[in-house]
Structure 1
Amino acid sequence: MDVLEAIKTRRSVGLVSEKPVPQDLLEQILEAGTWAPCHHRTEPWRYFVLTGDGRKPLGEALAKIAEKDMEDPSTENNQKKLAKRLRKPFRAPAVIVVAAEPTDDPKVLAKEEYGAVYSSIQNMLLAAHALGLGGFWRTGKPTYDPLMQDLFGLSKDGEVLGFLYIGFPEKDIPAGNRKHINDVTKWISTADGLKRN
């Protein structure tokens, strides 16, 4: 599959089988992540690959984070919600937790470090797709909670930026659609092309 086809046909795949993902495929995905563009070559990405029972601490952290926002976690309804959080990491046989550890070099902007890690995530999703795997990038408020920072042993400046759920798709991946480039692009070929009326 060439890169343009991979870009156009990749979709978020939330329904995957329980079949384990071979380590060599996971390693290819991780390596693709490390080839993302990176200003100053700081390589700020950090990966944590969770499989088997290694996914359990993530579920426990998600439940603890959810519990903090509950007035009474002991209610039947809240207990069901917490049980659901505990099971979330088990939706796929492999979860790649992607974090940023920005350099302390003062000439490097933290925003650019995050941009490099987001590029790394896209590389990994494309690699997973090209290898016949389904990938789903999850974020949301719990991702950025200090409990996640602690769980993965990140520095005070480090931050989890997403969870990639990886597995073999259970169904065909549907075609997608995007706006035409003309709807989101302005071509500028003169010096006053950006002037506003």
Structure 2
Amino acid sequence: MELYAAIKARRSVRQYKPDMVPREVISRILEMATWAPSGLNWQQWEFMVLSGPKKDELARSYGRIVEFSMPPEGKRTPQQEGFLQWARTLGGAPVAIVALTQAHGQPGIRKMNLESVAAAFTHLLLAATNEGLGTCWMTGPLNNEAELRKILDIPAGKEIVAITPLGYPAESPEAAPRKSLDEIVTWIGFDD
């Protein structure tokens, strides 16, 4: 797939087919993630690839934090029930990928690390799209970070940056409208 086409085709997928993604495909996607730019070329990203019981534990953890923020059962809207089901199962995705970086106490270095991993995560999502796979950039599970760290045995020296389910999409979401460049770009030093 051509790069611009992949950028425009990428969607936040929330329903997946149960088919397992071959390990060699996941490895190709992760390799493309490592070609992202990084601050000082430290390449400060690490990835955990989960399937099976650990992936299911991660999903249940996310489901608990989502349910905590909702009205009680019987008082939820159908949309809330649908979102809760998505959270509890990650939409049925067979794989989840967790992006990590080294924790750092110096704010500038911490920001550099987070931005570098975010760049790699973007590459990961685009590479997955190129492979015909769906993803969904998630930070919501971090609202239950203490439990997530315990489930995945993540040491204090690591910071969780983002999570994505990964699988073959069972839906084709429409593209969300984008803001026009006039709304978000300030041109300085250009003649009109």
Structure 1 residue 90 displacement after superposition: 6.2
Specify the code of the residue in structure 1 equivalent to 2:4.
L
- Unmatched 5+ residue regions in structure 1? 191-197
TM, length-normalised to structure 2: 0.77
Tell me, in whole angstroms, the C-alpha distance in 2 between the residues paired with 1:135 and 1:115: 19
CA contact (8 A) 1:101 1:159 kept: yes
Tell me, in whole angstroms, the C-alpha distance in 2 between the residues paired with 1:27 and 1:143: 28
- Counterpart of 1:165 in structure 2 is 165
CA contact (8 A) 2:65 2:144 kept: no
CA RMSD of the aligned region, Å? 3.1
CA contact (8 A) 1:40 1:108 kept: no
TM, length-normalised to structure 1: 0.75
Go from structure 1 to structure 2 and tell me whether the alpha carbon gap of 1:103 and 1:89 turns closer, same or farther (over 3 Å shift): same
Tell me, in whole angstroms, the C-alpha distance in 1 between the residues paired with 2:64 and 2:177: 38
Structure 1 residue 162 displacement after superposition: 1.8
Tell which structure's C-alpha radius of gyration is larger.
1
Structure 1 residue 21 displacement after superposition: 0.8
1:1-197 correspondence runs (5 A): 1-62=1-62, 87-89=88-90, 91-102=92-103, 109-140=109-140, 142-143=142-143, 145-189=145-189
Specify the code of the residue in structure 1 equivalent to 2:152.
F
Go from structure 1 to structure 2 and tell me whether the alpha carbon gap of 1:171 and 1:156 turns closer, same or farther (over 3 Å shift): closer
Structure 1 residue 108 displacement after superposition: 6.4
CA contact (8 A) 1:134 1:168 kept: yes
Q: Which moved more, 1:20-29 or 1:90-99?
A: 90-99
The size of the alignment, in residue pairs, is 180
Tell me, in whole angstroms, the C-alpha distance in 1 between the residues paired with 2:170 and 2:64: 30
Go from structure 1 to structure 2 and tell me whether the alpha carbon gap of 1:125 and 1:63 turns closer, same or farther (over 3 Å shift): closer
SS in 2 for 1:109: helix
Go from structure 1 to structure 2 and tell me whether the alpha carbon gap of 1:115 and 1:97 turns closer, same or farther (over 3 Å shift): same
Structure 1 residue 143 displacement after superposition: 4.7
Tell me, in whole angstroms, the C-alpha distance in 1 between the residues paired with 2:94 and 2:173: 18
Tell me, in whole angstroms, the C-alpha distance in 1 between the residues paired with 2:53 and 2:140: 23
Specify the code of the residue in structure 2 equivalent to 1:149.
R
CA contact (8 A) 1:10 1:129 kept: yes
Structure 1 residue 45 displacement after superposition: 1.4
Specify the code of the residue in structure 2 equivalent to 1:91.
G
Go from structure 1 to structure 2 and tell me whether the alpha carbon gap of 1:10 and 1:39 turns closer, same or farther (over 3 Å shift): same
Tell me, in whole angstroms, the C-alpha distance in 1 between the residues paired with 2:10 and 2:91: 22
Specify the code of the residue in structure 2 equivalent to 1:99.
L
| Deviations 1:128-163 (CA, angstroms, capped at 9, x unpaired) | 101111111221263562232333333324222222
- Unmatched 5+ residue regions in structure 2? 75-80
- Counterpart of 1:193 in structure 2 is none
SS in 1 for 2:127: helix
CA contact (8 A) 2:48 2:98 kept: yes
Specify the code of the residue in structure 2 equivalent to 1:101.
Q
